[in-house]
Structure 1
């Protein structure tokens, strides 16, 4: 009897339906018991509509900040429509924090060796074991800061920096999928002209989208006139411009001041300062992008 005749889904079909990798689904099945497949006559695992519903429920909880192990407890404890229980975010000194340190070491080792499959495996396991916010705040952002420091000091090569950035960009782009389809307030995110580093801005957008915001992402080296045109077309609740070099902001300060008079503007990144923000009439987002996105997302 075929899978379609039994009404079950093979893991590839389930993966396509729920938008998660087969690796993640197998991990949720073996580690947490969220999926309960049956065997077909040919020996294939077949997943039911109930399995799909539990996966969708768990996916929502994980996107909301729960670690997969905690989300699984919620899913298995109640029906699909049940409200999630409140679970505090892990803090420094917990097992998750220790795990984060090991993840950074493993990720650095894989990326320095140009081993993309190993790096993807490290990220897969981290996202299976930890909440998304913890992976972004505790792994991705510190790794990027360390990579930038090593590149400036000459202990990481240009090739290593480019390779690592491209691997992480691809992964972050996957997490950003669908972030323009929300129903909350809209944010336009961009970098000033000449700024080519936007990975932390991607992190900010991913977390803000998890708080219901609609993201319009313009990315690196955006001409101010193009940014202004996008703002005019979308009427966002917030415009965020992120850069690593103060000179990138200064060279278009007058244009940004004009933009701030028409739409709420925030400056972010190492190149943004409190004095510059005051001069431009902008808000300063000072600190790691995950925390800042959570603060913005929590603002009524």
Structure 2
């Protein structure tokens, strides 16, 4: 180990600070140092070991590789012999796809029995590693499609962050915000990663809106991306849409369906859903009406009485896609009750 020059400022971070930054335990860092030589290369004047930026970069690469399924010894070899984002792994060297492998908690988050991708995504979120979050989210969407990526990778990770936030006196707020922002970005970039079906010419859209006062629009963004992938035309109005604005949009566009998202019971506007359901347009004898789908955990059975239900994103996409005939005309679907409550919602506190 090198000694700092007299009067020089002690370099780098302590082991505890690095552990918090990377979302691993100090014991893990000491074990990697002892076994593989992935440790700090400098000491302070008080003989305390300090991690330089280069030391931290190496152990960050170690975290990324092990989270992706690379054996620790191989991950350490790569981390010690490469720079930056170059992992040194050829296609043949990389671990097998993790679609069916399961993993436990990632980065101290309570994930339970989930896909291995969740573990890597959680660790990247706890480390506040934007580049890794972007990479992992894009890979999940590209490898599994939007519905599976949302329901089996994104939602379990968001829920784990939300549980950690709720139980830790508002710590991990920055983790949830960063993860949500990257999920939103990945959903908007999905058309660049996946083949998109053509929309029927002249077909009326599906209007997507959050209930008045509802700010949790991320599940609605997932529905928008999944419908777009299947060629269903959409009109996204986003968060907290005032009642008269939503009614005006429905009157102006004559949509095939209106999805009203509510995350909490306090925003589930059943009176608004019934007003939308009562709208009619067009000439006498051929009047149109919207198919209204209240979605989200905020809608209880009483509020949903007389409206369709769906158990998750996949069900919502199937139900809305079935409204369109091959020629783009809209089928009139009966309001049949189904089990569930709309596209899967991450229970976060944002």
TM-score tier (shorter): 0.5 to 0.7
CA distance in 2, matches of 1:292, 1:213: 12
Matched, 1:283 2:283: no
Q: What residue in structure 1 maps to residue 68 of structure 2?
A: none
Instruction: Output aligned runs, 1:1-300, within 5 Å.
Output: 96-98=99-101, 101-154=115-168, 157-175=172-190, 182-183=199-200, 184-249=203-268, 252-262=269-279, 263-278=290-305, 281-285=306-310, 287-299=311-323
Matches of 2:292 and 2:314 in 1, distance apart? 18
Tell me the TM-score normalized by structure 1: 0.60
**Which of 1 and 2 has greater Rg?**
2
CA distance in 2 between counterparts of 1:129 and 1:254 reads: 41
Residue 172 of structure 1, CA deviation? 1.1
- Does the 8 Å CA contact 1:204/1:289 hold for their aligned counterparts? yes
User: Structure 2 CA distance, aligned partners of 1:289 and 1:132?
Assistant: 9
User: Residue in 2 aligned with 1:23?
Assistant: none
SS in 2 for 1:239: strand
Query: Match of 1:30?
Result: none
Match of 1:58? none
Name the structure with the higher helix share. 1
Contact 1:141 1:200 in 2 (8 A): no
Checking the alignment, whether the CA contact within 8 Å between 2:207 and 2:250 is kept in structure 1 is yes
Which ranges in structure 2 are unaligned for 5 or more consecutive residues? 1-96, 103-113, 280-289, 325-350
Number of equivalent positions: 202
Q: Point out where structure 1 has 5 or more consecutive residues left out of the alignment.
A: 1-93
Aligned partners of 2:199 and 2:217: how far apart in 1? Answer: 22
State the TM-score, normalizing by the size of structure 2: 0.52
| Whole-angstrom distance in 2 between the partners of 1:145 and 1:290 | 18
